[in-house]
Structures are given as structure tokens and as C-alpha cells.
Amino acid sequence: MTDEPLVLGIETSCDETGVGIVRGRTLLADAVASSVDAHARFGGVVPEVASRAHLEAMVPTLDRACETAGVALDDVDAIAVTSGPGLAGALLVGVAAAKSLAFALGKPLYGVNHLAAHVAVDQLEHGPLPDPCLALLVSGGHSSLLRVADVTGDVVPLGATIDDAAGEAFDKVARLLGLPFPGGPHIDRMAREGDQVAIDFPRGLTSRRDLERHRFDFSFSGLKTAVARWVEARERSGEPVPVADVAASFQEAVCDVLVRKALDAAAAEGIDDLLIGGGVAANSRLRALAGERAAAVGVRVRVPRPGLCTDNGAMVAALGSSMVAAGRPPSSLDLPADSSLPVTEVLAG
């Protein structure tokens, strides 16, 4: 027996119904049911479809997680749930499920921040987080640089995207190239056969003037437009579109800016540990480029394995477990789902 807490985490902020179970920092189960196929033909997540899918998947996913972990719901010491940010209707399903469980089982409830959970999950793989660390969070909904002194209570945003999120840019460019949704993994795969210097796509918010106001912010909408124009011009001239070269050059533009700004922020903050999280952290070029450039300036890089980068319940359980370990007071049973929960609010309600 161990006295480390057994924590169950529920994630429903977007299109993945995730239920994870951890004991302390040990991952016992990570059950995920995705509704991604139901959204594919729309080229993006349809909130109503996602909410309904969460409702249908919740109980089977809970059962699967308990079975994998070999635990009964009654054994659980605390319930954690993503209370925001995310799609309001989707979040509501997870929050309602978590409240019901907490109430019925008489266990404490922790409503946690999705972005902080993307950071906390790395502890399951690489142990306690360095204090402080710089987190680059890149997903379908967010692109942020955060200074994390304590993932249970001290997260300071340094910069964020001013338009599209990095994953959104991958998804939109993939669509333009005729690749399926979600596009990130397809661009990643196509790019391996392409030339990353074939086309010189713009690096958003890196000019001297932009850096004055937006040193640690990102912008990907200009890049997306540049790719669209380039592809249109090709099509108009009747020449074939070199999909692999476009994918590789686009991916290089995104990764170049992400890594450049993350390392600049690390230097400015005097931080030697960079943690990359969120769905786009699964990108092979981002992982390689960050590793190379960080090593050159003496910064250590931590990136969870790809399955823990995309949305899952284990990340929520990991943050819940950190909350319990830090002795944070639980959330109240009238915890709201907050679609725009600020990243500074790591523990809600």
C-alpha cells in the first residue's frame, strides 16, 4: 500500500472524452474516446456534436479507465475535472459528471485549468517540474508562453497568439492542401518528404517593430494567408502544387517562430528548463528543432510523449494529484464550467 493519493481526472474541453487515473505521479490509466471522426467532414470541431459525443462516451470511458487501473470508483481519493477553458457545452458534460461522482462518492472535487494540465502531465513521465520552468503550450485552441513557478498556483502568461492558434494554423493549411482533419499529423507526415527551405513563408511577429510590442506573442494568420496565396498562384498557373514542400516549409515557419520565441523568453526570464505541451507538441519537427536549438544555448527541454500531448484525462488527474499533494483546498460543488477561464486561475471555484 502507498499513501499517495489516487486521483481520477476527467477532460471534456474539446473533442476528446478523457478519463485518467493516477496514483501520485504514477499513471495507472488513460482512457480516451475521440469524436474527431464526427467532425472531420466539417473541417473543425462542431461544439454541439462534441457535447453529445461526450455524453455518450462518459460512462464507458470511466468504466474503461477503472478497469485498466484495476480500481473501483470507491477507491478514488479525489476527482479532478477540466473546468475551462474550452467549449462551454463540452466542458459542462465533464463538470457535471465530476460533480456527480464527487457528490455520490463523498470525495473532494478539483476544477482545474486545461492549460495548466497540459503542463502538469509531464510529471507523469519526467518527474517533478523544475521550478521555475518556461512552458510553451501549443494546441488547437491555444498558443502561449507561460512562466510556471508552481503548476498548482503560480502560472504567469508572458505571451499568446493574437489570432490563430498554432494547431489551428496546421488544421487550416492542411485543409487548403486537401489533407484530412485534424491536419497537424498529416502535415507532419507529408513534411518528411518535402524540402523545408523550398518556400520562404513569413515568420509572424518577428520584425523589429513587432518585437517591441509583441516580443512573446504569436501570429499565424498571416502565414496561413501566405500559404493560401502561394497555392492559389500555383493552381492558376496550371502547375501542380508540391504538397510535401508546402507542408515542410509551412511547418518550418511555425516551428522556427515557436522555438525562437520560447528560447528568447527563457533567456529573458533566466530560466533553463523549457517544457512543451499541447497537441502541436506532438510535431516531430518542433521536437527536433527545440531540442537542437535549446541544447546550443544550454536549455533543457521536456516534452511528454505524443499521446500525452494531445487532450487526455491523465493530464487532469496529474494536475489534480499535484493539487492534493500541495494541500490546496478543493473546489465547491457548484463549480462552474468556464469557457474562458484565464490561465492564471489554475484551480477554479
Helix axes 221-236, 166-176, angle to 10 degrees: 10
What is the spatial distance between Cα 179 and Cα 279, in angstroms, rounded to a whole number? 18
Return phi, psi of residue 278, to 5°.
95, 165
Q: Which does 171 bind (CB under 5 to 8 A by kind): Zn ion, ligand KG4, none?
A: ligand KG4
Q: Which listed residue (12, 17, 34, 139) binds ligand KG4 by CB under 6 A?
A: 139
**Residue 282 contacts ligand KG4 per CB under 6 A:** yes
**Residue 164 contacts Zn ion per CB under 5 A:** no
**Residue 280 contacts ligand KG4 per CB under 6 A:** yes
**Residue 188 contacts ligand KG4 per CB under 6 A:** yes
> Restricting to residues 121-140, which ones interact with Zn ion according to CB under 5 A?
139
Q: Which does 245 bind (CB under 5 to 8 A by kind): Zn ion, ligand KG4, none?
A: none
> Restricting to residues 171-200, which ones interact with Zn ion according to CB under 5 A?
none
**Residue 132 contacts ligand KG4 per CB under 6 A:** no
Q: Whole-number minimum distance, CB 187 to ligand KG4, in Å?
A: 6
**Residue 185 contacts ligand KG4 per CB under 6 A:** yes
In the complex with ligand KG4, the residue whose CB is nearer, 111 or 182, is: 182
In the complex with Zn ion, the residue whose CB is nearer, 35 or 139, is: 139
Contacting range for ligand KG4; rule: CB under 6 A; set: 136-144, 205-213, 220-228, 289-297: 136-144
Q: Whole-number minimum distance, CB 6 to ligand KG4, in Å?
A: 25
Beta-carbon contacts of residue 249 (< 8 Å; ≥ 6 apart): 194, 195, 196, 197, 198, 199, 200, 201
Q: Whole-number minimum distance, CB 40 to ligand KG4, in Å?
A: 12
Q: Whole-number minimum distance, CB 49 to ligand KG4, in Å?
A: 16
Among 113, 10, 22, smallest CA distance to 328 is for 113
Q: Whole-number minimum distance, CB 182 to ligand KG4, in Å?
A: 4
Q: Whole-number minimum distance, CB 65 to ligand KG4, in Å?
A: 18
Query: How many CB atoms are located within 10 Å of the residue 225 CB?
Result: 12
> Restricting to residues 305-344, which ones interact with Zn ion according to CB under 5 A?
311
Beta-carbon contacts of residue 256 (< 8 Å; ≥ 6 apart): 203, 289
In the complex with Zn ion, the residue whose CB is nearer, 62 or 280, is: 280
**109-145 burial string, b = 16+ CB within 10 Å, else e?**
bbbbbbbbbbbbbbbbeeeebbebbbbbbbbbbbbbb
Q: Which does 310 bind (CB under 5 to 8 A by kind): ligand KG4, Zn ion, none?
A: ligand KG4
**Residue 313 contacts ligand KG4 per CB under 6 A:** no
**Residue 170 contacts ligand KG4 per CB under 6 A:** yes
Name the residue with the smallest CB distance to Zn ion. Answer: 139
**Residue 14 contacts ligand KG4 per CB under 6 A:** yes
What is the spatial distance between Cα 172 and Cα 80, in angstroms, rounded to a whole number? 33
Q: Which does 304 bind (CB under 5 to 8 A by kind): ligand KG4, Zn ion, none?
A: none
Interface residues toward Zn ion, by CB under 5 A = 139, 311
Interface residues toward ligand KG4, by CB under 6 A = 14, 139-141, 167, 170-171, 182-185, 188, 278-280, 282-283, 310-311
